[in-house]
Chain A
Amino acid sequence: MEKTKKGNMARLNRWGLIFLIPFTIAFVVFQLVPLVNTVYNSFFENYRSGLKQVGPNFIGLENYVSLLTGGDLILYFLNTMILWVMCFIPQIALSLLLSAWFTNPSLRLRGQRFFKTVIYLPNLIMASAFAMLFFTLFADSGPINNMLMQMGLISEPYSFLTHIWSVRGLVAFMNCLMWFGNTTILLMAGMMGIPADMYEAASVDGASPTQIFFRITMPLLKPIFIYVMITSLIGGLQLFDVPQILTNGTGDPVRSSMTLIMYLNKHLYSKNFGMAGALSVMLLILTGILSLIVFRVSASDAVKKVR
């Protein structure tokens, strides 16, 4: 009796493995094989120069060396980071403020559903279409220049797309707009998880609202705050659609808005597989390190629950 039951369970549990088959096949074929292929390509010289195909010749780590010493990579990495910081700081400030308001019981804000719906909306917009929209709106003869002139703020059109900081500002602004709603909702979940008696105890002890925010809310919010920051950084490293469309892939003026993925895209289009491979591997390592931090902070609990 005992034995047949065990046999039954074992037969049933085989279904667990069967149900894993589709995921495994799709993962191996469309992610693992491409990943191995990418890493493999990074060790080869393999590009087209005019009509002549060079390689593939094995050259070891030379692609990595030329990327790291070429200067372009550093420049594009810095651009990507500048754009991320310009986007993240206003985004997190606004999100902290809004989530604190939404979760504050004494404020009793009305119409919260409406506001949450509105602030989340830009996140679902096609980034390329949004960038194209900003490109037309901020063109020299576009509506924004038009409005500013009608209001008498400027006397002649300001060329938004030929100045370094206005292009960067537009990219950062668009991304901030697309992501602050998402961040707000994540932070709200974190804030609602803080037990109310913590606040009560603190205020009974005479803590000021500022003290409560920095001594109770922020420390207890730390795991989710780190999660938000690192996932935003991982997303920031992947910044592509908006600057690509806004600058038509050039990152101009003077490649000041060229991001790492735009650089990768350029190599992929010119079929320089060696360089594209090496760049991909570097991005993978960078993302891997950052993911490890997120994993430590947020996913380790979920793993513990599976026994």
Chain B
Amino acid sequence: MADNFKKNKPGVADEAVPTTSIHIRRAIAYVVLVLVTLMCLFWFLILFINATRSNGELGRGFTLIPGGHLTENLNNLFHGTIPVVRGMINSLVIATLSAALCTYFSTMTAYAIQIYDFVGKKMVFTFILAIMMIPTQVTALGFVNLVSGMKMEDNFFPLIALSIASPAVFFYMKQYMESNLPGSLIEAARIDGAGEFRIFNTIALPLMRPAIAVQAIFTFVASWNNYFVPSLILHNDNMKTLPIQIAQLRAADWLKFDMGQVYAMIAFSIFPVIIVYLILSRNIVGGLTAGGVKE
């Protein structure tokens, strides 16, 4: 390891070295990167291949050639015992609404701290940062008690409303505002006589669009993948989300299952996110460090 570092660290010392050694190092870097790429994609390749093969074909052993049973597997899956289409709709509804509410209200909270001056502002900011790291698992017991107390089990509302207070998204928005929301613009709008709420919605929100897009994607994905808390409060089969159904599949006597269908279900949970990610990857990878971490 140490050797690799020595060879590949940033520095101007390289200029003194003959170019052949840079070529070698570059070649090593490409080989490692290609291997890492394969390590990342290999599993999804097998998943795709296996989702296209029938149970019988899968039983005969693995090949790299896709079969022709993808639609058949998906068809069996949609008409099987687990209501996956319902699960996907449930996941979509929760994730979409969470992403929308979370980004809107986090921006609003950040705006309150960024634009206005009031007693205790610094304290509020410090407090929100301090609660940023509290894991949701730690409050899960109280959350389950609260939800059952409100008779809201099998209801999406608590899961969605929970996302309004997201310190991490707030922090990202606050960082982004510092460099991208000029106070003079807000002043100008005030002189034109616009109300504060209107200024937030028509001036600040549009300026925050890139940050909102990035955080909307992350909140959506986090909610889409979330398993722990939803599994504690969604019990009705028709209200369950995809991750809970995956857990159900795992707990079932899976050996008797049609394996083509099992792979189709996993693919059904994973590939939509991959496709959306590949379409939006430019925003995601670029926006990752834009506001999140101190540099």
Query: What is the interface of chain A, defined by CB distance below 8 A to chain B?
Result: 9, 12-20, 22-27, 29-31, 33-38, 41, 93-94, 96-98, 100-101, 103-109, 113, 115-122, 124-137, 141, 143, 146-147, 150, 177, 181-182, 185-186, 188-194, 196, 199-200, 202-203, 207-210, 212-213, 217, 223-224, 227, 231, 234, 237-238, 240-241, 244-245, 248-249, 261, 264-265, 268, 273, 276-277, 280-281, 283-284, 287-288, 290-291, 294-295, 298-299, 301-303, 305-307
Q: A118-B40, A212-B13, A245-B250 are in contact. Are A136 and B2 (CB under 8 A)?
A: no
Contact in complex: B146, A33 (CB < 8 Å):
yes
Contact in complex: A19, B133 (CB < 8 Å):
no
Taken together as a complex, chains A and B put the C-alpha atoms of A225 and B116 apart, in Å, by: 34
Residue of B nearest to A277 (CB): B141
CB neighbours of B108 from chain A (8 A) = 19, 22-23
How near does chain A come to B30, taking the closest CB pair, in angstroms? 7
Taken together as a complex, chains A and B put the C-alpha atoms of A202 and B59 apart, in Å, by: 61
Taken together as a complex, chains A and B put the C-alpha atoms of A36 and B138 apart, in Å, by: 11
| 14 A-B pairs in the complex with CB atoms less than 8 angstroms apart | A13-B118, A15-B112, A26-B162, A117-B281, A121-B41, A121-B277, A125-B270, A185-B285, A185-B288, A188-B289, A203-B13, A241-B227, A273-B145, A283-B138
Contact in complex: A280, B141 (CB < 8 Å):
yes
Residue of B nearest to A281 (CB): B138
Taken together as a complex, chains A and B put the C-alpha atoms of A20 and B2 apart, in Å, by: 50
Contact in complex: A30, B143 (CB < 8 Å):
yes
Interface class of chain B by DSSP: helix
Q: A295-B130, A307-B122 are in contact. Are A23 and B30 (CB under 8 A)?
A: no
Residue of A nearest to B47 (CB): A133
CB neighbours of B259 from chain A (8 A) = 136
8 tightest Cβ-Cβ pairs between the two chains A and B? A16-B116, A34-B142, A37-B142, A26-B164, A19-B112, A291-B133, A27-B165, A143-B62
Contact in complex: A16, B129 (CB < 8 Å):
no
How near does chain A come to B124, taking the closest CB pair, in angstroms? 7
How near does chain B come to A112, taking the closest CB pair, in angstroms? 9
CB neighbours of B7 from chain A (8 A) = 209
A-B contact count (CB 8 A): 355
CB neighbours of A98 from chain B (8 A) = 32-33, 36
Residue of B nearest to A146 (CB): B62
Asked whether any CB of chain A lies closer than 8 Å to the CB of B188, the reply is: no
Q: A101-B29, A143-B50, A240-B228 are in contact. Are A264 and B137 (CB under 8 A)?
A: yes
Q: A26-B162, A261-B228 are in contact. Are A136 and B139 (CB under 8 A)?
A: no
CB neighbours of B176 from chain A (8 A) = none
How near does chain B come to A302, taking the closest CB pair, in angstroms? 7
Taken together as a complex, chains A and B put the C-alpha atoms of A161 and B55 apart, in Å, by: 22
Of the candidates A38, A202, A283, which one forms a contact with B11 in the assembled complex, judged by CB atoms under 8 Å apart? Answer: A202
Q: A217-B9, A284-B134 are in contact. Are A34 and B274 (CB under 8 A)?
A: no
Residue of A nearest to B224 (CB): A126
CB neighbours of B115 from chain A (8 A) = 16
Taken together as a complex, chains A and B put the C-alpha atoms of A158 and B249 apart, in Å, by: 23
Of the candidates A9, A36, A117, which one forms a contact with B142 in the assembled complex, judged by CB atoms under 8 Å apart? Answer: A36
**The stretch of B66-74, B75-83, B207-215, B239-247 that contacts the partner chain:** B239-247
Of the candidates A30, A35, A146, A217, which one forms a contact with B10 in the assembled complex, judged by CB atoms under 8 Å apart? Answer: A217
Contact in complex: B285, A116 (CB < 8 Å):
yes
Contact in complex: B61, A146 (CB < 8 Å):
yes
CB neighbours of B65 from chain A (8 A) = none
Residue of A nearest to B113 (CB): A306
Contact in complex: A16, B112 (CB < 8 Å):
yes
Q: A41-B142, A185-B285 are in contact. Are A126 and B242 (CB under 8 A)?
A: yes
Contact in complex: A107, B141 (CB < 8 Å):
no
Beyond A16-B115, A16-B121, A223-B294, 15 additional pairs, beta carbon < 8 A = A15-B116, A16-B117, A20-B109, A23-B109, A29-B146, A30-B161, A31-B134, A38-B141, A109-B26, A132-B250, A217-B10, A227-B294, A287-B133, A290-B133, A295-B129
Of the candidates A101, A132, A181, A307, which one forms a contact with B249 in the assembled complex, judged by CB atoms under 8 Å apart? Answer: A132
CB neighbours of B146 from chain A (8 A) = 29-30, 33-34, 37
Contact in complex: B247, A245 (CB < 8 Å):
yes
Query: What is the interface of chain B, defined by CB distance below 8 A to chain A?
Result: 1-2, 4-16, 22, 25-26, 29-30, 32-33, 36-37, 39-41, 43, 46-47, 50, 59, 61-62, 105-106, 108-109, 111-113, 115-118, 121-122, 124-126, 128-135, 137-146, 158, 161-162, 164-165, 170-171, 174-175, 178, 190, 196-197, 200, 221, 224-225, 227-228, 232, 242-243, 246-247, 249-251, 259, 262-263, 266, 269-270, 273-274, 277-278, 281-282, 284-285, 288-289, 293-295
Taken together as a complex, chains A and B put the C-alpha atoms of A234 and B10 apart, in Å, by: 30
Taken together as a complex, chains A and B put the C-alpha atoms of A133 and B42 apart, in Å, by: 12
Taken together as a complex, chains A and B put the C-alpha atoms of A116 and B162 apart, in Å, by: 32
Of the candidates A181, A240, A245, which one forms a contact with B246 in the assembled complex, judged by CB atoms under 8 Å apart? Answer: A245
Of the candidates A37, A107, A115, A305, which one forms a contact with B26 in the assembled complex, judged by CB atoms under 8 Å apart? Answer: A107
CB neighbours of B106 from chain A (8 A) = 23
CB neighbours of A22 from chain B (8 A) = 105, 108-109, 164
CB neighbours of A94 from chain B (8 A) = 36
CB neighbours of A238 from chain B (8 A) = 135, 137
CB neighbours of A248 from chain B (8 A) = 250-251
